[in-house]
Amino acid sequence: MTELFYAMGEHLVIVALSMAAATLIGVCLGVLSYWKQRLSALIIGACEVIQTIPSLALLALLMIVFGLGDVTVGIALVLYALLPIIRNTHTALTELEPAIIDAARGMGMSRIQRLVQVEIPLSIPMIFGGIKVALVNSLSIAVMGVLIGSGGLGYIIYRGIQQRSMARIFIGALPVVVIALLFDWAMTKAEQRLSKHTS
């Protein structure tokens, strides 16, 4: 039981740190793609290409550069998480009502002020939706990290496969499913509340 709780904690730490980095980078790139529309196709296209690379292949490529361990897995999780965050940020900002932007402009706000005080706050529900998708995906993909020397729940699953123990595989896999479902439910509720506050 101690091993399970330790693996769960390690799994959540890897995902949490990766998501924090992915959120910061993703929102910034989403804003950049909104401000510089000519860059949007390049930024989103690059992320789409990364998304098409199988997780094991991406981990293998990153391992060549960064070696074995949690850092490599974290970088992979960041790369996989970028697309939904960037796309949702760009879409949310692009689809704001022009009348809202005109009203802010009429109040004498600069572009930065409009972005920080009006556009991003109104876009938060959709941005949050992208973060939710990225988080749930990351919880699953992090299991693959055991193949390049990372820890987490993937270690328990892998040991179960080696030992041909269905019970051990189940003990490792069930928490991943439960945690992903709980986060999805909680973040969906939060997203609904945010939508009500900004509507």
For the structural domain made of 2-198, what CATH number should be given? 1.10.3720.10
For the cut 80, the answer to whether the pLDDT of residue 197 exceeds it is no
For the cut 80, the answer to whether the pLDDT of residue 196 exceeds it is no
Mean pLDDT, the chain, integer? 89
Global pTM reads 0.90
**Alpha-carbon dihedral angle through residues 184, 185, 191, 192, given to the nearest 10 degrees:** 150
Q: Which residues contact 68 (CB under 8 A, 6 or more apart)?
A: 148, 149, 150
Percent of all residues in the chain with a pLDDT value above 90, rounded to a whole number:
49
Say which residue, 111 or 79, is predicted with more confidence.
79
- Mean pLDDT (whole number) for 60-74: 91
Rg of the chain, C-alpha, whole Å? 19
d(CA 90, CA 194): 18
pLDDT digits (tens, 9 = 90+) for 144-169: 888 888 888 888 898 888 888 898 88
pLDDT at 23: 96
Sign of the torsion formed by the C-alpha atoms of 155, 157, 158 and 162: positive
